[in-house]
Structure formats: C-alpha cells, structure tokens
Chains A and B, each alone.
Chain A
C-alpha cells in the first residue's frame, strides 16, 4: 500500500455493516464459487448427456462435448458473479428490501485501501484502475503473441511453432487485442476521469459499473482456456464453416464473446446514461469536454453493434452443438450470413476503438498548445458522421466474398464518404496546433505520432475501399498493415497519450518522463518499420495469416520482425515506467498541465464523491488564448 493509499484509508472510519455478507465477499470467493459452479455444470451436463448416448461411447461426441464445455464456461462466469456478491443487491430488491446505507458506503470501497480493488467496488475510480490494469494485462498478452507470430515469420520456413499453435496465435492475438482496444480508453479514462469531467458524484449506475468490469474479468480465464482446449484455427473473424469444423478451443472463443458482449452492453448503457443525465449544472452540450463526447458516441455505437456479434456466436454455438445448420451451406445455411452478422458488428467496432483515442488527443492538444479547440462543432460532426456512416459500410469486408457483387458499388460509395468526417478530425487537430507552440510533454508527442500514423492508415484505407484495388490487396498482408496503422498507430497511440496525460490524476504521480520518451520513440519507429515491411509484403502478394512464405518475401518479413522487436522493447519500457512511477514517481501537483477541465480541480486521492459541492459551469473548458 503506498502512502497515498494510506491517506485515503485514514480519511474516514471504515463503514462496518455488521454481519453483512457483502463484507466477506471478494475476488477470491468469486473464483472459488465460480470454479465450483463450473465443476458442477461440467459434471451434471456430462453425466446427463452420457445417459442419452451409449455409455460405452465415452468420451462424448464432439457436439456433446461442446455443450459440456460451453455450459461449464458460462457457469464459471455466473458463479464468479455470485461469489463476488454481484447479485446481493438485486436479490434484496426481489424480496422487497434494499442495501443499507452502511452497505452502500462499504460497496463504494470507502476507507478500504488497496483491498477495494479486489472487491465488487462501485466507486468509478476503482473501476477505472481495474480497467487500466486489465487493459495493460491484455495488451501484454496480445503483444507477446504478436512477438511469437513475428518470430515465426522472421525467415521463410520458420518452424519456431507448429501450424496449430501459429493459427491459434493469430486468432487469439486478434481477439485479445480487439477486446483490449475496445476498452483501452473508455475503460480506464471513461470510468475514472469522465464522471469527474462532467461534474458528477459517480456514474449513473455504480453497481452496473462494477458489474461491467467483473463480467469482463470472467471472460479472461475463459479466453485463456482456449489454449488448453487445442486453440482456435479461425482467426478472430471466426468465419463459418471453419468455426463449425473447429475443435473444442472454439467454445472458449464463443463464450468469451458472449460474456464480453454483456459487459459492453452494461458499460455502454451506464456511460451514455451518466453523460446524458448527470452533467453538472451549466454543462450544456456545447460545454462538454470533447473526450466525453467522443467516448459517449463510441459506446453508443457499440450498443447496437455488439449484439449482432453475440447473436452470431450463439448461432455458431448452436451449429456446433445441435447441428442447426445456420451457417452450413450443406444444410441450407450460409457462411455469408455469418460474415454479414460479423461485419455488421465488425466495422462499427473499429470506430468504437478509434473515436475515444482521437477524442483523448483532442482533449490534450488545446492544453499543450494553449489554444482553444479548433471548431468544437467540426469535432462533434466528425465523430457523429463517422459513427453514422460506419453502420452502412460493413460489406466492404466482403467485396471479394462473391456475396452480392452488385452491392460492391454502393458499399464503396459509403466507405469512401467516411473520409469526409475523418478529414474533419484532422482539421480539428491541426487547426488547434496552428500558430501554437506545442509544449513537448509526453501526451503531446502522441498527437504528432497520431497524425502521421493515421494519415498512412487513412490513405491506404482509400485503396482498400476501392473495389478494383481491393481485388488485388484483399486478404493480403497489406490489409493487416493498414488496420494496424489505424488501430495501433492511431487508437493505441491516442490511448497512450491519454495515459500519459491522466496518469497524474489516476495515480497521484507523474509518469517517468525519460522512460516515456525512450519508449515513445522506440515504439513509434519500430511500429513504422514493422508495418512498412508488412505493406511491402502485402504489395508483393503475401496473404495474411500465413505461418510460412516463399523465399521471395524474405526481406520484407525480416524488416517487419526487426520492427516488431523494437516495438516490443519499447512497450516493455513503457510498462516499466507505468509500474515504477505508480509507487516511486514524482508526486504530481493537482493540475500539472494547467488544464481547465474539471478533473484537474479535484485533489489526489480523489474524494469518494469527487466533489464536496458540485461545480457550476459557465463556459467550455477550452478558454485558452489571448483575444484574437
């Protein structure tokens, strides 16, 4: 426990709701109950299915085995939530009671120090830190997988890992990173900082907030279990019929997505409600900090998008367990149905990832160039335009599927229209920089990196949206390089900028600056080398998701691998900086950057209810600058 947390602990006497079950439950009891539930479900399902089939036929048929595994995975998730006490509140409501005031204070983690991070804690600041640690863990795991992929691809004929492991790595790297990137900004900053930015005591539904995090937490072991069940052969897109044919590891993927979809739905409802209903007095829509706008649009876009992913996974599970044949052409189904459902989620999802990262940078630029945000309206229009168009472009992922060739034209039109709102985002950033003297701190560096990376990602996206060019590039390494430039180069860079920016508020300390700079340059240079190599490989004609390639592609792949190792080292340095600074960094002043948003008006540790008295807002937070 750091000294700062001790100060937090001693601020008030610990609430002591006598004999309440709530005080005895935590992550540990959650795990125990979860494992018991999973074991019971496994045992019960297995035995009941064995009575149906011939007992001699043990082991179970693949179909029955899928039922058993899926049942055990969901039972784990539900059991964990029971064991951590998520259902105590709803149960009280069922029997016509409610939690006592003492219990509510206890749930908020009041005066419990570090222990509250391992409990069903309703304080949005605790949830924010939980998300931050969760995101960093997922990025670390996904990054390690990326290093293994690049190691295998360092030279042709590389057999560092087997084909099964390689294919699993490709899929699990993908889904791990997608999950991490969906929550990378809205998780930590959306939960920790955003309620303070809008001048709220907490989120609208504090218990749902805890629910969204812990439900997501239960998905992590489920996802990891894929390794022990033989991996997944499908990539993160999980196309049918390959997914129907896949082994038991596929169940882990299916269960993860369904659990994750529940988590995002809960979090999305919570964040949108909070922003709509809990802004402090005077915070009209044109005075809301742009990060709040961006995050809200992002989660609002996720609310309709993720259910289709969940549905597609439920249908895949049914195909795999009861032979429903939704996606099996031999049974009258269609793999195209799956691809449609998947991409109806899949394309909005990339903007769910991108928008909060850009919005974080838009929050940063005015502070570091000491100028107002250039055209707040254009920023909002940009986000809204992207969100609106993004639900009409999904089939550009299916140009070469043969599904509906006559729709390729219309989808090309909608896709290329997205460059207009995207252009507005660039305009807002450079307009704010124009005639300013940017203060070269870590958060500001990310803005420069973003402009370069997203420019490359954007332009290459224009070729890919063009059907005749895509007919060459589709499914090649070029596509992989393109979306890494947007998701990693743009969105992750934005989130790292946000981390450097809000780190002092979230930990009370400054992020180690020197390590931050070294990490920044290594990551950015390595990243560009890595994916320029991949653009070359793609242009040369190397398909994606291949474990091996012809000698012809050796140079471009070697370049990529060298770049990848550089990124890996840069990220390890960043990780070190984050961990080191958390306990040993320079103590941060209340407002180290001289920003005008509300989160910088509260001290660290942030009081339980953020504000003693809610502030009244009279202008937007971008009132920098001398008169024109």
Chain B
C-alpha cells in the first residue's frame, strides 16, 4: 500500500462508481435486476388482461388499470430484492462447514435512507393514485345522481332480487342499459351478503335494516354475472344470477316484456 499515490487511495466519486459497477457481483445483480424487472412487467401486462373478465364499466377499467400499473411500478422494487437474492444464490456455498466470513458491513446510512425514501415515494404514488380514482368515482356518482337508473337490490338466503322502481318491475336477473349511470341501493332480508356484478367491477355488502349504495357506469353491451361475495350460509356458492348490459332499445323491450313501463 505504501507505494500507492494519494489519488489512488482517495478515488473520485466517478471512479468509485465505475469501480463499483465493474465488480462481478454488482454486474451479476444488475443482470438479474433487468431480468426480474422484465418478468414482473410482463406478468403485470399479461396476467390481468388475460384472466380478468371483459371490462364493461368505467369502474372495472379503473380497477384493472390499477392492478396492471401497480405491478409495473413495483417491478423494479421487487426486482432489486430478488436480484440480490439470486446473486447470493448463484454464489452459494455448499458443504458441511460454514463458508468463510464475509465483509463486516454493519449498515450503510445512505442505502437505508435511499431505500426508505424510495418506498415512501412508491407508497405516495399508490395513495395519490387511489385517492384520485376514488374522488373521480365519487364526483361522477354525484353528477349522475339525477340521470341514473335506480335498482333496489335485495339479498336473501340465497337469492338476489332486483326492483326497478321507476320501471315498476321486479326480477331475478339484472339487465341494464349501456351508457346510463346506475345506482344500486342494496339491502339484505337476513344475514350479510355482498352484491357483486362481476363485470362492472363494483361491490357492496347487503346488510339488514340499512341501505348501502354503489354506482357504476356500464360501457359495453354483454353478458353480466352477479355473485355473492360474502359467506352467507349453506348455499352461498349458488347465490348467483346473470343479466345483460343492453342497448337502450333492447332494455326498453325487456322492461315491457317484464310487465313494466318506460321510466
């Protein structure tokens, strides 16, 4: 060491960075970081669109977007953890005696600080995104309150009943006109249920003696599944029905066929 010049003993930050990235374990970690990031990004972009049902409402679109983009955003964070782990795994030690001691790194202030700040930023992104979406949905619901079609939903063991007060009909299938905001007033005749029109991506519990409310704006014509998402006793699994998001004229025809009238 005595022969080294002062400059070499105290490298500049640039030199330190370039030395850092020339280390074998750092290069290995970087490679795995890229691979894991790519895997999670692909997983996020493929998994939800592939497995989730057709998007048929504004709310469903927002739910799916959140799942996709939260996966993509968290990909680098997940990848850094898994990259370090993979690198350690690749450099593993076998045998019946412990490996030689590694460097005695007790902590690293800047790393802990950067890590904490980064996770705070990610948490804030998720929070702000979620709050913004919630607010947008609440504003839309308020704006549409007058024009919305109202459906009184009653859950009872183990049947859904839908009452359209303005149309004067009561059915067990949930048909709705496309593009018209809908307000569901939900209650239960007995135990707790949870009203879940699957492709609309919204959900609310049905409780006895109180009415809970959710809104949705159907955007696409098609088949609709209605399920119960709260364990409600013996035949919870079979407490389901179907319906359709229809064009305005089809919906009117259906209402008339049910013995109702135009709102």
Contacts and interface: CB of A to CB of B under 8 A. Distances in A.
A330 B208 contact: yes
B227 to A, nearest CB: 5
Contacts of B196: 475, 543
A440 B236 contact: no
Given A241-B208, A369-B99, A462-B70, A468 B231 contact: no
A564 to B, nearest CB: 18
Contacts of B199: 541
With most chain B CB atoms within 10 A of its CB, the pick from A234, A367, A433, A476 is A433
A400 B88 contact: no
B98 A239 contact: no
A287 B205 CA distance: 49
A463 B191 contact: no
Interface in B59-100: 59-60, 62-64, 66-67, 70-71, 74, 77-78, 80-82, 84-85, 88-89, 91-95, 98-100
B127 interface: yes
A440 B234 contact: no
Contacts, number: 289
B84 A419 contact: no
Contact of A475 (B70, B93, B94, B194): B194
Contact of B66 (A369, A463, A475): A463
A459 B70 contact: yes
A437 B93 contact: yes
Given A330-B208, A436-B88, A471-B201, A372 B104 contact: yes
Q: Which bracket fits the contact residues of B?
A: 35 or more
Contact of B119 (A400, A409, A419, A547): A419
A448 B92 CA distance: 12
B119 A167 contact: no
A420 B123 contact: yes
A434 B123 CA distance: 25
A105 interface: no
With most chain A CB atoms within 10 A of its CB, the pick from B93, B100, B137 is B93
Interface string A542-573: 01111111000000100000000000000000
B67 A469 contact: yes
B131 interface: yes
Given A420-B123, A431-B111, A235 B231 contact: yes
Contact of A625 (B95, B105, B116, B207): B105
Nearest to B206: A402
A575 interface: no
Given A424-B116, A433-B85, A463-B70, A402 B204 contact: yes
A369 B212 CA distance: 55
A467 B94 contact: no
Interface of A: 163-164, 167, 170, 233-235, 237, 239, 241-242, 245, 328-330, 335-336, 367-372, 374-378, 400-402, 408-409, 412-413, 416-417, 419-420, 423-424, 426-427, 430-431, 433-440, 448, 451-452, 455, 459, 462-463, 465-469, 471-476, 535-536, 539-541, 543-549, 556, 593-594, 623-628
